[in-house]
Amino acid sequence: MAPRARVSPGDLVRVGKDTPGGEWLRRYWLPLSRDEDLLDIPRALRILGEDLVLFRDPDGRPGLLGQYCPHRGTSLEYGDVETGGIRCPYHGWLFDVRGQCLEQPAEPKDSTFYRRVRHLAYPVREQGGLLFAYLGPDGDRPPPLPRYAPLVEPGGQRQIEPVRHLDYNWFNFWENSADPCHLSILHRHSAYGDQTWGNQFFDYHDMPDFEPVETGYGLTIVMRKPGPSPDTEYVDEMSLAFPSIIQIGDTELVHLKIEQAATLRDGGRNTHLLFLTPNDDYHFMIFTVDHYTGPEPDFFAKLAQMRAHEVPRQEVKPYDRREYMPFRGSVRQEDVMTQATQRLLGEREERLATSDRGVLALRRLAQQAVAAAQRGERPKGVLAPEAAERVVRFDSFVGVRPRTSSLHPAAAR
Ligand code: FES
Ligand SMILES: [Fe+2]
């Protein structure tokens, strides 16, 4: 076999089959729908550049098949879901959730041709209200679906937001979370600068120091400032877990603004998790999960109320035709404008600076993971079979803690 070329940053952004990035992402389980959004009709979905159809058979089993019928190509999006699986409306070929053809009504009665037709099918599993699919090699024996703590832990309150769809490359969104400087700059007009914690911790003129710290699951960005007493420090951590997950811990301080003193003392209690699933090189979906374990009984209702105020508040002049206007005032809109206009990593020109050390660390780890997948090894974030039962946790501590010389306990793990 010819030796593989070195993995470059530009290799991280392509998701199609037979690209280094696409081969890498196909080692993981990726969310593709909320469970509640899969109703009694099939749904066409593009995942990692592949056209697929998602449905639930009458026994409740979710199936993910190639969108186009292997007979003569009609879209199974219009198929009938019935006992056994999904039936193509054109000539009635019936497929189960494993892609096996069960019936071909127009063939001779004694034909066994149907047995030899197996359509493209990928395994799907449900966890905590999300459906995950594995598009990788060996679909009959996929790696374990990690048991993500915010999805599987009993107790507390859980919420999964409606899926967001964005039309630029997914990697721009992921690596943005390894760039904490933008919180103090881009977001100073919105939630991050608009309250005590924001004005103090994320102060534009006195930004927190930060370091990227490699962990077993990926990378944690640890932001720190001197604490209220000499032996303490303020900390805000966010994690990037492989292959495309972000965990943030400062929701209560940034968006809800309740009980600031107590929250800082005891640490944040809402885990905010974002799963990114690329549809193709220029589109991706965001699955947003919150798991709250604090005392506030109507936490998510209050959060929704506060988020409703986070809308762009920028004046737009009548002759202003710029696509992403207005954006200032909403964290999400600010992120979309900056990331959607960046163009593809690997194709854009860049002049990287010291403050890009988080982004650089993430790219380096991702390049290593892509290379590991190319060598047939298990890349970061893919669990060994024996770790299947373990609950997978990421670090996102926010609050006051004793000042440490080591940046982050996870670094020692
Ligand atoms: S095209 Fe689907 S059964 Fe003929
Ligand atoms: Fe942001």
d(CA 131, CA 62): 8
Residues with pLDDT less than 70, the chain: 1-4, 257-259, 405-413
Q: Is residue 321 part of a domain?
A: yes
Q: What is the pLDDT of residue 411?
A: 46
Q: What is the pLDDT of residue 258?
A: 65
* Residue 85 alpha carbon to ligand 1 centre in Å: 15
The helix/strand/coil state of 369 is helix
Does residue 103 have its Cβ closer than 6 Å to ligand 1? no
Last residue of a domain, one of 79, 99, 134: 134
- Quick one: which of 342, 23, 315, 353 has its CA closest to 171? 342
The two counts, helices (H) then strands (E), for the chain are 10, 22
202 in the same domain as 313: yes
Does residue 88 have its Cβ closer than 6 Å to ligand 1? yes
Instruction: Please tell me the number of the ligand nearest to residue 89's CA.
Output: 1
Pocket test for ligand 1, best of 91, 95, 119 (most atoms within 8 A of CB): 91
200 in the same domain as 101: no
> Tokens 């959004």 sit at which residue?
37
Q: What is the pLDDT of residue 86?
A: 98
* Residue 355 alpha carbon to ligand 2 centre in Å: 15
β pairing state of 62-66 and 121-122: antiparallel
Instruction: Please tell me the number of the ligand nearest to residue 189's CA.
Output: 2
DSSP assignment of 247-267 equals EE--HIIIII--SHHHHHHH-
269 in the same domain as 406: yes
* Atom 1 in ligand 1: residue holding the nearest Cα: 72
Q: What are 235's two structure tokens?
A: 């900390």
Q: Is residue 407 part of a domain?
A: yes
Any bridge partners for residue 100, and if so which?
Answer: 118
**Domain containing residue 281: CATH number:** 3.90.380.10
Q: Is residue 21 part of a domain?
A: no
Q: Is residue 5 part of a domain?
A: no
Does residue 71 have its Cβ closer than 6 Å to ligand 1? yes
Q: What is the pLDDT of residue 406?
A: 56
Q: Is residue 11 part of a domain?
A: no
**pTM score of the predicted model:** 0.95
d(CA 184, CA 175): 16
Count up the domains in the chain and report the number. 2
Does residue 72 have its Cβ closer than 6 Å to ligand 1? yes
Does residue 93 have its Cβ closer than 6 Å to ligand 1? yes
d(CA 213, CA 409): 10
Instruction: Please tell me the number of the ligand nearest to residue 92's CA.
Output: 1
Q: In sequence order, what E strands does 100-193 have?
A: 101-103, 121-122, 124-127, 130-134, 147-148, 157-160, 164-166
Domain extent for 75: 34-134
**Domain containing residue 58: CATH number:** 2.102.10.10
* Atom 4 in ligand 1: residue holding the nearest Cα: 91
Q: Is residue 60 part of a domain?
A: yes
Q: Is residue 250 part of a domain?
A: yes
Q: What is the pLDDT of residue 330?
A: 92
User: Phi/psi of residue 256, each to 5°?
Assistant: -100, -35
291 in the same domain as 259: yes
Pocket test for ligand 1, best of 53, 80, 93, 94 (most atoms within 8 A of CB): 93
Last residue of a domain, one of 78, 106, 134: 134
